[in-house]
C-alpha cells in the first residue's frame, strides 16, 4: 500500500493511533512532504472559506479538525520525548511557513468579520455562542478592529517587543555565561549532595581544570546558597546574581524601560488604561487592585510567621544576624537537623505501581472515573515484516539507521488506558513516566488529539522518574506530588463535558488552570489518605506514625518566607505595569527598591537588581501575571478546605459539587463564574492562610 495513504489513514483513525508506525523510519522519510501537502490543502481551504457569503455563514463554517495540526503536534511530541536529528530537521524546515500561515489566519480581517457576523447573527446554542464570543475577543485583542494606521503601529510594537524580549534574555545569558567560581576547598562543600558536586566537577573537567566549577545556572546557584558553608561565598553569589545584565554594554535596565513603555502604549491602543488591565482581560482575577489588596492582606498575615521563622533560625544556630544571602543555607540546615525526615526511608512507601494504583483509586472515589489498561493497535508494518521474514525488531534497525545511541524504543515505557465514567468513554490516557536520555527533563500534561466528530480524545502525562535496573521505582514525595499534579491536569481535560474542544479544561484562564492539578496533590500528602494507601514496598506495613507527624510539621515549614517572597515579586511585577512608567534607570531602580523595602523582611542589600534578570515578566509571558502562582494556590486551598470541612476528604457531596460546577465545566463559563457556582461568593483567603499555618 502507498505509504502516504497509510499515514493519512493512521492519522484519521478515530481510535488510538498507531504511534509506533507513525514514528517509523518509513514514515519519517516522507513526513515533511506530507506536511507541505497538508499545508497547501489548508491554505486553499482557508481561501475558499473567506469567499463564503455572509448569509451562508454558520457555526459549522469555523469547525474543523486539522490533520495538519495533529500531525505536526505528534512530531513535536516525539521530539520532546526523544530529541533526534531527523525530526528536528523536519520541524525546522517546516515551522516558519506554518507560522506564516497561522499569522495569515490570525490577521485576516475578513475572517474576523465572518466570526463577528456569526456571533451576532447566527443561531447559536449557549456553548457555540461562548466559543464565538471568545474567538471574536481574541481577534480584537490582537487589534484586528483598529484602523489601518493604528494596526500598523501595533504590529510594530509587537515586533519590537519580541525583539526586546529576545535582547533581554540574551543579555542575561551572555552575562551569566561569563560567570564561574572555582572551589578547591572540599570542607566548605562537604554538606552538598554528591550529585551537585559531581556536576561541578564535570564542569571543571570540561574546562580542563581541577576541583569544582560553579556557574550561574539555577542548579549551581541553589547548591551554593543551600549547601556551601562559607558565608562570604554565598554573599558573593548573591551579589553576582544581582549584577547580571547591568553592565553598560548589555544593560537590561534600558531594555526594561523600553519594554514597559511599549507595553503601556500597546494597552492604550487597545483601549485599556494600562498593561496590567490588558493582561488580566483573559484571566480570572478581575482588576490589579483586587490582586494588590488580596496579596497585601495575605502578606500582612504572613509577616508574624515569616518573622518567627527567621527568629527560629537565629536562635537555633545562635546567630547574631541573619542576612538575606544566608537564608537558604540555614533554612535547609534547620529542616535537616531539627525536623530530621529521612527521604530515603520515606521513598520505601512510594513504590511506583502502588502509587499509580492509589492515584487511580482516588479519582475513582472522587469522580467515578474508571481507568482500564489497553493494548494499542498492532503495527501494520511489523506484520508485513513478519511475512517477508525481515528482522522482527524495526527498532534495532532504527538504532543503526538513524544513529541512535540509546538502545531500546521510546515505546518501551508507554502505557495506554481507556478512561470512562458511568460506562461512557471519556478519553484515552497515555503515559510515559520514566526517565530516558534525550527526553525533556520536565513533567507535563497535554493533549495529543482533541475530540472531534468521533475522534477520541487522547490526554497524556509525561514524567522522568528513575527506574532501577531490577525494574522497581521508588518515588520521592516530590515525585509523587508531580505525578498527582500532572494527573490533576489530565482529569480536568478528560472530564470536560463539552463536545467542543475549545471549551475543555486545558483552555481555562491562565490563573485558574492550576486549580485541579494543585488540588489533587493534597490527596497524596494528606496523612489520612496516606494511611489508607501508602505501604512499604516489601513488608506492606503502613507509613509509621512518626513519619506522618514529621510530614505534618513540615507541611507549613517556611510558608511565611514563601508568601513574603511571592508577594514581593508579584507586587514588583504588578506595580511596574500599572502606575506611572519609570522614565529613567534611576527611577526604575528606586521603584524596585521601594517595593522591596515595603514588602521584604530584610534590609536592602548594597546591590539589588532582581529586575535585570527577571525573564518571567520581561521575556516570558508573565508580565502582570506573576501573581498567578500564588493566586492558583489561594483558590485551590479554598476547594481543599471544602473537602476537609465536610469531615471526609472523599466526601461524595463535595466531590460531586466540584465535578459538576468546576471540573466538568471546562471553559464553558468564565473562571470567576465557575468559582462562584461552587462557593456562592468571591475568592477569600482564610483557607489559604490556615493551610499555610499563617493564622
Ligand atoms: Zn501544572
Q: Provide the pLDDT for residue 219.
A: 86
Q: What count of other Cβ atoms lies within 10 Å of the Cβ of residue 548?
A: 16
Residues 6+ apart with CB under 8 A from 144: 107, 109, 112, 151
Residue 388 near residue 419, CB atoms below 8 Å: no
Q: If you measure from the C-alpha of residue 467 to the centroid of ligand 1, how many angstroms do you get, rounded to a whole number?
A: 23
Q: What count of other Cβ atoms lies within 10 Å of the Cβ of residue 546?
A: 9
Q: If you measure from the C-alpha of residue 124 to the centroid of ligand 1, how many angstroms do you get, rounded to a whole number?
A: 33
Q: If you measure from the C-alpha of residue 514 to the centroid of ligand 1, how many angstroms do you get, rounded to a whole number?
A: 5
- The sign one gets for the Cα dihedral 53, 59, 65, 66 is positive
Q: If you measure from the C-alpha of residue 518 to the centroid of ligand 1, how many angstroms do you get, rounded to a whole number?
A: 7
**Distance separating alpha carbons of residues 260 and 267, to the nearest angstrom:** 11
Q: If you measure from the C-alpha of residue 155 to the centroid of ligand 1, how many angstroms do you get, rounded to a whole number?
A: 32
Which grid coordinates are listed for 204? Answer: 571543571
**Distance separating alpha carbons of residues 593 and 604, to the nearest angstrom:** 7
Instruction: Report helix angle 394-401 to 380-387, nearest 10.
Output: 100
Q: If you measure from the C-alpha of residue 443 to the centroid of ligand 1, how many angstroms do you get, rounded to a whole number?
A: 9
Q: If you measure from the C-alpha of residue 303 to the centroid of ligand 1, how many angstroms do you get, rounded to a whole number?
A: 28
Which grid coordinates are listed for 664? Answer: 466538568
Q: If you measure from the C-alpha of residue 133 to the centroid of ligand 1, how many angstroms do you get, rounded to a whole number?
A: 27
Q: If you measure from the C-alpha of residue 299 to the centroid of ligand 1, how many angstroms do you get, rounded to a whole number?
A: 24
Q: What is the set of domains in the chain, with CATH numbers?
A: 3-141 (1.20.1050.40), 180-243 (no CATH), 347-499 (1.10.1370.40)
Q: If you measure from the C-alpha of residue 505 to the centroid of ligand 1, how many angstroms do you get, rounded to a whole number?
A: 12
Q: If you measure from the C-alpha of residue 271 to the centroid of ligand 1, how many angstroms do you get, rounded to a whole number?
A: 32
Q: If you measure from the C-alpha of residue 445 to the centroid of ligand 1, how many angstroms do you get, rounded to a whole number?
A: 8
Residues 6+ apart with CB under 8 A from 12: 67
Q: If you measure from the C-alpha of residue 554 to the centroid of ligand 1, how many angstroms do you get, rounded to a whole number?
A: 22
Q: If you measure from the C-alpha of residue 487 to the centroid of ligand 1, how many angstroms do you get, rounded to a whole number?
A: 9
Q: If you measure from the C-alpha of residue 675 to the centroid of ligand 1, how many angstroms do you get, rounded to a whole number?
A: 19
Q: What count of other Cβ atoms lies within 10 Å of the Cβ of residue 686?
A: 14
Q: If you measure from the C-alpha of residue 506 to the centroid of ligand 1, how many angstroms do you get, rounded to a whole number?
A: 11
Q: If you measure from the C-alpha of residue 447 to the centroid of ligand 1, how many angstroms do you get, rounded to a whole number?
A: 14
Q: If you measure from the C-alpha of residue 516 to the centroid of ligand 1, how many angstroms do you get, rounded to a whole number?
A: 9
Q: If you measure from the C-alpha of residue 629 to the centroid of ligand 1, how many angstroms do you get, rounded to a whole number?
A: 10
Q: Provide the pLDDT for residue 57.
A: 96
Q: Provide the pLDDT for residue 157.
A: 95
Q: If you measure from the C-alpha of residue 42 to the centroid of ligand 1, how many angstroms do you get, rounded to a whole number?
A: 33
**Distance separating alpha carbons of residues 488 and 251, to the nearest angstrom:** 41
> Which residue in the block uniquely carries the three cell numbers 485558574?
512
Q: Residue 30 has what DSSP assignment?
A: H
DSSP, collapsed to helix, strand or coil, labels residue 458 as strand
Residue 333 near residue 317, CB atoms below 8 Å: yes
Report, as ranges of residue numbers, the positions in the chain whose pLDDT lies below 70. Answer: 376-408, 469
Q: If you measure from the C-alpha of residue 510 to the centroid of ligand 1, how many angstroms do you get, rounded to a whole number?
A: 10
Q: If you measure from the C-alpha of residue 211 to the centroid of ligand 1, how many angstroms do you get, rounded to a whole number?
A: 38
Closest by CA to 562, choosing from 323, 343, 295, is 295
Q: If you measure from the C-alpha of residue 485 to the centroid of ligand 1, how many angstroms do you get, rounded to a whole number?
A: 6
Q: If you measure from the C-alpha of residue 227 to the centroid of ligand 1, how many angstroms do you get, rounded to a whole number?
A: 28
Q: If you measure from the C-alpha of residue 691 to the centroid of ligand 1, how many angstroms do you get, rounded to a whole number?
A: 20
Residue 214 near residue 181, CB atoms below 8 Å: yes
Q: If you measure from the C-alpha of residue 54 to the centroid of ligand 1, how many angstroms do you get, rounded to a whole number?
A: 41
Q: If you measure from the C-alpha of residue 441 to the centroid of ligand 1, how many angstroms do you get, rounded to a whole number?
A: 15
pTM of the predicted structure, to 2 decimals: 0.89
Q: Provide the pLDDT for residue 408.
A: 56
Residue 543 near residue 349, CB atoms below 8 Å: yes
pLDDT digits (tens, 9 = 90+) for 101-128: 998 999 999 999 999 999 999 899 999 9
Q: If you measure from the C-alpha of residue 641 to the centroid of ligand 1, how many angstroms do you get, rounded to a whole number?
A: 20
Which grid coordinates are listed for 215? Answer: 556557574
> Which residue in the block uniquely carries the three cell numbers 469567499?
51
Residue 121 near residue 109, CB atoms below 8 Å: no
CA distances from 653 to 367, 420, 517, 642, 661 (A): 11, 20, 20, 10, 12
What pairing do the DSSP bridges indicate for beta strands 458-465 and 424-434?
Answer: parallel
Closest by CA to 126, choosing from 587, 495, 500, is 500
Residue 373, strand partner residues: 417
**Distance separating alpha carbons of residues 492 and 503, to the nearest angstrom:** 11
Residue 425, strand partner residues: 420
Q: If you measure from the C-alpha of residue 491 to the centroid of ligand 1, how many angstroms do you get, rounded to a whole number?
A: 12
Q: If you measure from the C-alpha of residue 223 to the centroid of ligand 1, how many angstroms do you get, rounded to a whole number?
A: 25
Residue 350 near residue 475, CB atoms below 8 Å: yes
Q: If you measure from the C-alpha of residue 489 to the centroid of ligand 1, how many angstroms do you get, rounded to a whole number?
A: 7
Q: If you measure from the C-alpha of residue 509 to the centroid of ligand 1, how many angstroms do you get, rounded to a whole number?
A: 13
Residues 6+ apart with CB under 8 A from 342: none
Q: If you measure from the C-alpha of residue 73 to the centroid of ligand 1, how many angstroms do you get, rounded to a whole number?
A: 20
Q: Provide the pLDDT for residue 438.
A: 80
Q: If you measure from the C-alpha of residue 446 to the centroid of ligand 1, how many angstroms do you get, rounded to a whole number?
A: 10
Q: If you measure from the C-alpha of residue 129 to the centroid of ligand 1, how many angstroms do you get, rounded to a whole number?
A: 29
Q: If you measure from the C-alpha of residue 343 to the centroid of ligand 1, how many angstroms do you get, rounded to a whole number?
A: 24
Amino acid at each position: 500500500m502507498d505509504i502516504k495513504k497509510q499515514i493519512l489513514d493512521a492519522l484519521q483513525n478515530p481510535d488510538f493511533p498507531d504511534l509506533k508506525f507513525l514514528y517509523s523510519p518509513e514514515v519519517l522519510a516522507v513526513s515533511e512532504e506530507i506536511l507541505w501537502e497538508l499545508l497547501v490543502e489548508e491554505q486553499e481551504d482557508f481561501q475558499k472559506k473567506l469567499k463564503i457569503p455572509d448569509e451562508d455563514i454558520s457555526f459549522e463554517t469555523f469547525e474543523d479538525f486539522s490533520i495538519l495540526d495533529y500531525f505536526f503536534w505528534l512530531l513535536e511530541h516525539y521530539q520532546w520525548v526523544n530529541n533526534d536529528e531527523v525530526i528536528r530537521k523536519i520541524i525546522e524546515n517546516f515551522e516558519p511557513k506554518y507560522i506564516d500561515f497561522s499569522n495569515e489566519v490570525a490577521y485576516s480581517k475578513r475572517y474576523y468579520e465572518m466570526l463577528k457576523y456569526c456571533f451576532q447573527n447566527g443561531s447559536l446554542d449557549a456553548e457555540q455562542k461562548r466559543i464565538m464570543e471568545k474567538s471574536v475577543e481574541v481577534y480584537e485583542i490582537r487589534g484586528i478592529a483598529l484602523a489601518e494606521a493604528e494596526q500598523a503601529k501595533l504590529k510594530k510594537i509587537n515586533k519590537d517587543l519580541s525583539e526586546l524580549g529576545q535582547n533581554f534574555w540574551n543579555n542575561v545569558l551572555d552575562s551569566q555565561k561569563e560567570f564561574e567560581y572555582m572551589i578547591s576547598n572540599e570542607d566548605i562543600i562537604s554538606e552538598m549532595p554528591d550529585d551537585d558536586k559531581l556536576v561541578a566537577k564535570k564542569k571543571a573537567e570540561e574546562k580542563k581544570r581541577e576541583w569544582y566549577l560553579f556557574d550561574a545556572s539555577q542548579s549551581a546557584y541553589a547548591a551554593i546558597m543551600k549547601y556551601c558553608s562559607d558565608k562570604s561565598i554565598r554573599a558573593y553569589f548573591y551579589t553576582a546574581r544581582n549584577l547580571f545584565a547591568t553592565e553598560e554594554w548589555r544593560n537590561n535596565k534600558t531594555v526594561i524601560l523600553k519594554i514597559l513603555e511599549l507595553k503601556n502604549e500597546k494597552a492604550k491602543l487597545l483601549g485599556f488604561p494600562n498593561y496590567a488591565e490588558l493582561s488580566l482581560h483573559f484571566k480570572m482575577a478581575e482588576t490589579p487592585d483586587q490582586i494588590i489588596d488580596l496579596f497585601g492582606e495575605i502578606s500582612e498575615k504572613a509577616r508574624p510567621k515569616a518573622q518567627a521563622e527567621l527568629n527560629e533560625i537565629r536562635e537555633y544556630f545562635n546567630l547574631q544576624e541573619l542576612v538575606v544571602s544566608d537564608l537558604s543555607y540555614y533554612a535547609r540546615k534547620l529542616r535537616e537537623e531539627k525536623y530530621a525526615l529521612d527521604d530515603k526511608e520515606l521513598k520505601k512507601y512510594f513504590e511506583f505501581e502502588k502509587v499509580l494504583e492509589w492515584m487511580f483509586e482516588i479519582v475513582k472515589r472522587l469522580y467515578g472515573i474508571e481507568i482500564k489498561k489497553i493494548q494499542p493497535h498492532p503495527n501494520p508494518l511489523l506484520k508485513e515484516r513478519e511475512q517477508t521474514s525481515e528482522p522482527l525488531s524495526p527498532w534495532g534497525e532504527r538504532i543503526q539507521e538513524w544513529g541512535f545511541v540509546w538502545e531500546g524504543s521510546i515505546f518501551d515505557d508507554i502505557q495506554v488506558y481507556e478512561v470512562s465514567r458511568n460506562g461512557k468513554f471519556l478519553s484515552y490516557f497515555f503515559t510515559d513516566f520514566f526517565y530516558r536520555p534525550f527526553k525533556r527533563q520536565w513533567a507535563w500534561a497535554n493533549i495529543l488529539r482533541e475530540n472531534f466528530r468521533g475522534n477520541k480524545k487522547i490526554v497524556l502525562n509525561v514524567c522522568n522518574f528513575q527506574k532501577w535496573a531490577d525494574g522497581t521505582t521508588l518515588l520521592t514525595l516530590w515525585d509523587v506530588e508531580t505525578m498527582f499534579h500532572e494527573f490533576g491536569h489530565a482529569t480536568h481535560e478528560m472530564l470536560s463535558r463539552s463536545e467542543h474542544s475549545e471549551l475543555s479544561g486545558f483552555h481555562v484562564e491562565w490563573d485558574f488552570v492550576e486549580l485541579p492539578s494543585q488540588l489533587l496533590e493534597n490527596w497524596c500528602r494528606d496523612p489520612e489518605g496516606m494511611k489508607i494507601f501508602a505501604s512499604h514496598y516489601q513488608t506492606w506495613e503502613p507509613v509509621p506514625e512518626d513519619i506522618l507527624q514529621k510530614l505534618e510539621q513540615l507541611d507549613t515549614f517556611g510558608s511565611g518566607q514563601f508568601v513574603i517572597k511571592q508577594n514581593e515579586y508579584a507586587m514588583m511585577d504588578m506595580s511596574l505595569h500599572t502606575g506611572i512608567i519609570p522614565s529613567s534607570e534611576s527611577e526604575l531602580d528606586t521603584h524596585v527598591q521601594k517595593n522591596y523595602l515595603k514588602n521584604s523582611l530584610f534590609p536592602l542589600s548594597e546591590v539589588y537588581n532582581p529586575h535585570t534578570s527577571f525573564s518571567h515578566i520581561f521575556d516570558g509571558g508573565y508580565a502582570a501575571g506573576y501573581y498567578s502562582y500564588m493566586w492558583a494556590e489561594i483558590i485551590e486551598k479554598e476547594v481543599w478546605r471544602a473537602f476537609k470541612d465536610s469531615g471526609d476528604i472523599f466526601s461524595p457531596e463535595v466531590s460531586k459539587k466540584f465535578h459538576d460546577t468546576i471540573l466538568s465545566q471546562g471553559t464553558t463559563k468564565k473562571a470567576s463564574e465557575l468559582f462562584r457556582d461552587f462557593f456562592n461568593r468571591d475568592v477569600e483567603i482564610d483557607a489559604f492562610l490556615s493551610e499555610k499555618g499563617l493564622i
